[in-house]
Chain A
Amino acid sequence: MSVDELLVKNLKVAFSSPEGDLVAVNGISFQIKKGEILALVGESGCGKTVSALSILRLIPDPPGKIIEGEIRLGERDLLRLSPKELRDLRGNEIAMIFQDPLASLNPVLTIGEQIIETLLRHSKISRADARKRTEELLRRVEIPSPAEKMKNYPHQLSGGMRQRVMIAMALSCSPKILIADEPTTALDVLIQLQILELLKQLKEETGLSILLITHDLGVVRAIAQRVLVMYAGDIVEVSPIDELMENPLHPYTHGLIESLPSQSKGKSKSRLPAIPGVVPPPGQRPAGCPFHPRCAKSETRCGTEFPELKEIEPGHWARCFVAERGR
């Protein structure tokens, strides 16, 4: 279980703008273990999607730029691959699914045709075999009457079904790692539960590693083993999921959990404990700890020094002076 599938080291990504380079991801490091669902959590603009896109080198350059870092998959550094090697990597070893499946599917091709095309592009099989395999894949993601559904165009399917098609397509070349960017955010709760259940099954049956990007701690709780919490381009906390829910060390994580209405159950109709203020816009990062202007526990040095990510309890890391000292 503890084999590292993918290792990200000191990844720094910036976007150029008229006001100079805006740092979106500020030197983050993490690893995805084999057969693990690792969640990357944070609010919009915290850099979670940019981090994920960087792994597949999908950041539009310009304006985006990977300034430094290493992304290791086995012996290779993904940041040094040639365009040909990158094409082989994408889909075959690392696949990705997005929030809006309708935007990711070709509207004028049937879904069957799109998966067959993927298979033919990536592996040397006949068209007939590709067709058969497509049907199997659709059955695998629990699409009812797959042979029939293959003839449908994306607009004829519901949101949940489309996301299943995307997952089938992502699985078509048996990747080792699946990056799922908000895969259930656009879906209704009952359908969300079905898709989460499917991802969990796939992980258990095939040993797939999943990097799950989401803003929803409930989704994380449902299927992830470990969590990275990001704020303003930094990882502020890393922890196994159970530990994080019971004992969040970073005040930001604590605030996120507290501000969920489902958490304040029983506390009558009192006000929700909101985190005051807003996420700093890119380019206006406060000095010191970027969370300190919104932090209830902030001290003088939080405004001047940038805390390091430190292991405070075994396997549980946080980037906070207050947490470091113990509560």
Chain B
Amino acid sequence: MKKSLAPLLEVKHLQKNFHSKNSSNAGDLLKAVDDISFDLNEGEALGLVGESGCGKSTTARAVLRLIEPSAGEVLYKGVDLLKLRSEEMRPLRKEMQIIFQDPLASLNPKRRIRDILAEPFTIHGMKDIDCQQKNIAELLQKTGLSKEQLERFPHEFSGGQLQRIGIARALALKPRLIVADEPVSALDVSIQAQIVNLLSDLKENEGIAFLFISHDMGVVEHFCDRVAVMYLGKIVEIATTESLYARPLHPYTSALMAAVPSLKDKIKDRTVITGEALDASDFSEGCAFYARCPIKEKQCEEKSPPLKEISPNHKVACHLS
């Protein structure tokens, strides 16, 4: 990690509210992302983990302004993206790309792979056909695809190959930041490993920064340099991967890790966390994890724990850590 340089991306107090549809508390705001801050350096991968509905995808989308954040700052190379008009955003968008979970749903079924890969260049004004073809050839080589595949349509590919195409498209404009939203969750294990290896190469050889969203603690441990654990819209723990996996401080992080079915031990050795995550609109004060926490105390119900640094590069939001 290059500590001396300013981070590529700094997210400060990011917030995204939705209007609650639930009739009992109509008009109330649902805080999907609630005061989130983190930074990301070049060539670094930050994992965002948590259960469905915890706000990890919303955070990623708000960072790219695919949805408009309600408050906060997103500094990319020192420029606050949230203050830019959309035409000012456009040149920066080349440098920020996204890969989705379901590659088939994100590729136009009526277009050939060649056209899908040429589109980013056309949109950003690089209309010279020869130059496009040269770039496409380079993309194919980087992502392990072959020239013959260019004339085919998305439905003719397997999931792993489609994800390679999705990655190739994201790489077209030489991005510095890639948001990967569950990029390997829909893939079979043997293919999953191939795609994770491909992403690792991009991170190491090209210095691309990754915001890597996943619910798979194993993949995150392998791929990410740092990890942020989210629960009901807040970061409850953020640390380097080594530190987090060696010494998880938040009881929610420990539970998540213990719940991953491991090949080594059977189910009986683990504590089962009961209950389910609340709706983000259902709790008002105190620690959001209170209801499910195995080690809770009185104070946890009363006040919300702040995110504090326990050891260098390891922050946790828990009164008891």
**Complex contact B263–A218 (CB within 8 A):** yes
Shortest CB-to-CB span from B160 to chain A, Å, is 6
In Å, the complex CA distance between A73 and B264 comes to 34
Q: Are A223 and B159 CB-contacts (below 8 A) given A188-B51, A259-B192?
A: no
Q: Which chain B residues lie closer than 8 Å to A191 at the CB level?
A: 51, 276
Q: Which chain A residues lie closer than 8 Å to B313 at the CB level?
A: none
Q: Which chain B residues lie closer than 8 Å to A218 at the CB level?
A: 260-263
Q: Which chain A residues lie closer than 8 Å to B8 at the CB level?
A: none
Q: Which chain B residues lie closer than 8 Å to A160 at the CB level?
A: 276
Shortest CB-to-CB span from B50 to chain A, Å, is 9
Shortest CB-to-CB span from A259 to chain B, Å, is 4
Which of these binds chain B: A3-11, A169-177, A273-281, A304-312? A273-281
Which of these binds chain B: A58-66, A82-90, A264-272? A264-272
Is A50 located at the chain interface by the 8 A CB criterion? Answer: no
In Å, the complex CA distance between A228 and B160 comes to 24
Is A222 located at the chain interface by the 8 A CB criterion? Answer: yes
Which of these binds chain A: B24-32, B79-87, B115-123, B212-220? B212-220
Which of these binds chain B: A14-22, A98-106, A115-123, A194-202? A194-202
**Complex contact A193–B272 (CB within 8 A):** yes
Interface of B is mostly: helix
Q: Which residue of B lies closest to A257 (CB)?
A: B263
**Complex contact A189–B260 (CB within 8 A):** yes
In Å, the complex CA distance between A216 and B160 comes to 17
Using C-beta atoms within 8 Å of the partner chain, give the interface range for chain B.
35 or more
**Complex contact B261–A261 (CB within 8 A):** no
Is A221 located at the chain interface by the 8 A CB criterion? Answer: yes
Chain B residues 272-310 with CB under 8 Å of chain A are: 272-274, 276
Which of these binds chain A: B88-96, B131-139, B193-201? B193-201
Q: Which chain A residues lie closer than 8 Å to B51 at the CB level?
A: 188-191
In Å, the complex CA distance between A188 and B276 comes to 10
Is B190 located at the chain interface by the 8 A CB criterion? Answer: yes
Q: Which chain B residues lie closer than 8 Å to A197 at the CB level?
A: 267, 272
In the complex, the 10 A-B pairs of residues with the closest C-beta atoms, listed nearest first: A218-B261, A274-B193, A262-B218, A261-B222, A259-B193, A43-B188, A272-B193, A261-B218, A275-B190, A188-B51
